Structure 1
Amino acid sequence: MKRRLLLAATLALAALSQAPAIAQPAATEIVEKKVFETTGYVTRGGATIPTIRIGYQTAGTLNAAGDNAVIVTHFFSGNSHAFGRYAEGQPAGYWDAIIGPGRAIDTNRYFVISSDTLVNLNVRDGRTVTTGPVSMNPATGRPWALDFPVIAMRDFIEVQKRLLDSLGVRRLALVTGASMGALQAIEWAAAYPQMIDRVMPVIGSSEFDPWAIAWLDIWESPIRLDPNFNNGDYYAQGREPPTRGLAEALKIVTVQAQDRPALARFGRRAAEGQDPLRRIGDRFEVERFLDEAALARARVSDANHFLYLVRANQLFLHEYASSEAALSRSQARWFVVASPTDRVFMLDYNTEMVALLRRLGRPVDFAEVTGPLGHLNGVVGMAPLADRIRAFLQN
């Protein structure tokens, strides 16, 4: 069981197109990856992006009033594949256990949308559709690289809003997501309070404080130190991308996003054929495993996109004087879900959010998602909360 859970955690960070290897209901819906395009988008920083493309998927049917919609926002290394399968025999989305016909977020009742973000990390995986530094700058005919405009988390929401408008959505019965998806859900609640009935942030925070900002600086540091980074200009023919630095960055994320039991199966064993007691360059088995997983992940990702995602997170709720000012705009019911062993958005981030919402007089419930995976419990371990989620949607 521990091996299966660790594999689930690794897949959640190292290959989002793969299904978590834990028990969950078989997916009963086939979903289609679609593409939304919009033009003339002006970022919150005032720059114009001539054309934006993002991928998305839907399930269920939008009602005539356009008010039975649910948007699922994804985590840092995630994409739109939150539920369903793209074809028979292919992996299910990471929240498929709670989204689908008859499930907690019932697609017989709700029209559920999940989209890729701008500057999505998975730009090279053959499935994700996104616009970012790797995209072509029409003014130069070359990839934008670091000339791409800075993206704030509010920009994710504004592009999603254009997508929802194009689909005829007028009101959201629920906005929800895990980790960075939780931050997006909160940003939605502040930006468009009049159109949201319920908010369910999972393993998130209403405060991106200096401690969190500093941790994300540590996440991205190996990329900037890679000699191939070249200030983000590595797309030209003959240049090598900073794959090693990106892999090291992803390794930091992978370890922080798990908890001690997730890696316990490795013990203190040396990697096969290695002896750390005798040679300083030899590796332990856990190091070898993380190196291989992170390198595989880096090969379908982009280093500049990683940096832009970091900045978007650091700019969470940046348009408001405080978290209190942002959350005071919400008119929704809230259900906050935390992992007690989270090493990214620790439990106190979530309990502080609940306390703030209660001070503001907002209806709020709270639950814990448990398991051996730390932060990732909220990505691959949501099935036990299905009844709580179903009850929340009925209130």
Structure 2
Amino acid sequence: MAQEPLVEKRVFQLPRFTTQSGRTLKDVRIGWESYGRLNADKSNAVLICHFFSGTSHAAGRYAASDAEAGYWDAIIGPGKAIDTDRWFVLSSDTLVNLNTGDPRVTTTGPASLDPETGRAYGPDFPVVTIADFVAVQKALVESLGITRLAMVAGPSMGSLQTYEWAVSHPEMVGKAMAVIGAAEADAQLIGWLDVWSAPIRLDPNWNGGAYYDGAPPEAGLARALTAMTLQANHGDWVNATFGRRPAVEGTDPASALSARFQVQSVLDNAGELRARLCDANHFLYLAKANQLFVAGGRSLEDAMQRLRAPLLVISHPRDLVFPEAMVLRTVEAARAAGRVVTHLNIEGKRGHLDGVMSMKQAEGAIRAFLEG
């Protein structure tokens, strides 16, 4: 097995980009990275799309001293399921990426400066969709001379982008691997995304999204991240990890309203730390893009009729974000349309997050699907 090289982060720029809503943005920028080499006829490209709170960092390390590798490093790299000795793998930050405080993230969104005014867009930034994310990715892919992707894949919000690619650009997608996601957002997901977003809107510092000249709504964002994190983890993991232990040993949570359980304290602390690297408006814009999602802007049945790529659908039967019934609606619609579909369940106590953290168990199926 070849030694894994370090990853280089790059920036892709579009002088002008027109959103699905008809707004034209200038100087649109996203970060991207790649693993492996593009072959002479540019036929070995695999695109990885990231999840809601993720970035382009799907595999490898930026520096040898990095404590952790990219989120799908278990399946992307030399000799792994998506073998970078054979495949050229690329991944990009989405528009309105959540992680605006990460120095390695480049993304255009409401926190960006509007070239026309020199001030942050704030709430004047247009509503963007999963289709907009894909349109920018398509421009990046085409800038590299790639006309067809061997596979598009991604977990959670990355699976939404995968379906959008396969339905809107069927001629460019050889295969599609959708992990812990579905081809449309149903009413339950729309409602939960609103629950995640509510603490931001209730934070007085949010100010309708116009907060870039003052204090950001960090408290509301922290609580939003806490709600998101809790739902992304199944109760099996939460109960096994925290139980009913108090936040402070020897302090009974019944002793005062301020006395807490460990699970409350740990989740809140994690949310507060994460909020320092994120932007509240970007969270809201991401939530809106997910709520609006139907692959190709069509009904589920029409979308599956347009899809041509063979599908590998990987899900968790106890996923609380994309419940099994929601995933199965997509699988059944694809099969009813005569599509080639392989459906695989993964295991683990995390639930939804097992589609990010426990993918090694699916490496045999992924390798066979990609290379078959």
Distance 1:262 1:27, change over 3 A: farther
- Cα deviation, 1:126-167, whole Å, max 9, x if unaligned, reads 211101011001222110001011101100000000000111
Shift of 1:170: 1.1
Q: Are 2:18 and 1:39 equivalent residues in the alignment?
A: no
Q: Give 1:128's aligned residue.
A: 105
Q: Give 1:66's aligned residue.
A: 42
Aligned residues between the structures? 369
Shift of 1:276: 2.0
Equivalence map 1:323-338=2 (5 Å): 323-338=300-315
Aligned counterpart in structure 2 of residue 146 of structure 1, from 82, 98, 123: 123
The CA distance in 2 between the partners of 1:141 and 1:385, in whole Å, is: 47
Q: Are 2:261 and 1:248 equivalent residues in the alignment?
A: no
Aligned counterpart in structure 1 of residue 235 of structure 2, from 228, 238, 260: 260
Q: Give 1:307's aligned residue.
A: 284
Shift of 1:275: 3.0
Shift of 1:321: 3.3
Distance 1:337 1:27, change over 3 A: farther
Query: What is the DSSP-based 3-state SS (H/G/I as helix, E as strand, rest coil) of the residue aligned with 1:172?
Result: coil
Q: Are 2:261 and 1:284 equivalent residues in the alignment?
A: yes
Aligned counterpart in structure 1 of residue 94 of structure 2, from 117, 122, 126: 117
Query: 2:97, 2:286 within 8 Å by CA — same for their partners in 1?
Result: yes
- Cα deviation, 1:372-393, whole Å, max 9, x if unaligned, reads 1010000010001111111001
Q: Give 2:25's aligned residue.
A: 49
Equivalence map 1:154-165=2 (5 Å): 154-165=131-142
Identity of aligned residues (%): 50
- Counterpart amino acid of residue 317 in structure 2: P
Aligned counterpart in structure 1 of residue 180 of structure 2, from 203, 222, 241: 203
The CA distance in 2 between the partners of 1:128 and 1:139, in whole Å, is: 23
Q: Give 2:195's aligned residue.
A: 218
Structure 2: stretches of 5+ with no match in the other structure? none
Q: Are 2:80 and 1:80 equivalent residues in the alignment?
A: no
The CA distance in 2 between the partners of 1:269 and 1:336, in whole Å, is: 38
The CA distance in 1 between the partners of 2:253 and 2:59, in whole Å, is: 43
The CA distance in 1 between the partners of 2:126 and 2:369, in whole Å, is: 38
Shift of 1:317: 2.4
Q: Are 2:183 and 1:183 equivalent residues in the alignment?
A: no
The CA distance in 1 between the partners of 2:306 and 2:154, in whole Å, is: 19
- Counterpart amino acid of residue 309 in structure 2: A
Shift of 1:27: 7.7
Q: Give 1:385's aligned residue.
A: 362
Of the structure 1 ranges 354-363 and 260-269, higher mean CA displacement relative to structure 2 is found in: 260-269
Query: What is the DSSP-based 3-state SS (H/G/I as helix, E as strand, rest coil) of the residue aligned with 2:60?
Result: coil
Shift of 1:61: 1.6
Of the structure 1 ranges 275-284 and 120-129, higher mean CA displacement relative to structure 2 is found in: 275-284
- Cα deviation, 1:41-62, whole Å, max 9, x if unaligned, reads 0000000111111000001121
Q: Give the TM-score normalised by the residue count of structure 2.
A: 0.97
4+ residue segments displaced more than 4 Å: none
Query: 2:13, 2:29 within 8 Å by CA — same for their partners in 1?
Result: yes
- Counterpart amino acid of residue 248 in structure 2: E
Q: Give 2:170's aligned residue.
A: 193
Query: 2:167, 2:295 within 8 Å by CA — same for their partners in 1?
Result: no
Aligned counterpart in structure 2 of residue 321 of structure 1, from 298, 312, 330: 298
The CA distance in 1 between the partners of 2:221 and 2:330, in whole Å, is: 32
The CA distance in 1 between the partners of 2:152 and 2:315, in whole Å, is: 16
- Counterpart amino acid of residue 83 in structure 2: D
Query: 2:160, 2:183 within 8 Å by CA — same for their partners in 1?
Result: yes
- Counterpart amino acid of residue 254 in structure 1: T
Structure 1: stretches of 5+ with no match in the other structure? 1-24
Q: Are 2:172 and 1:172 equivalent residues in the alignment?
A: no
Shift of 1:341: 1.4
The CA distance in 1 between the partners of 2:269 and 2:312, in whole Å, is: 37
Equivalence map 1:335-350=2 (5 Å): 335-350=312-327
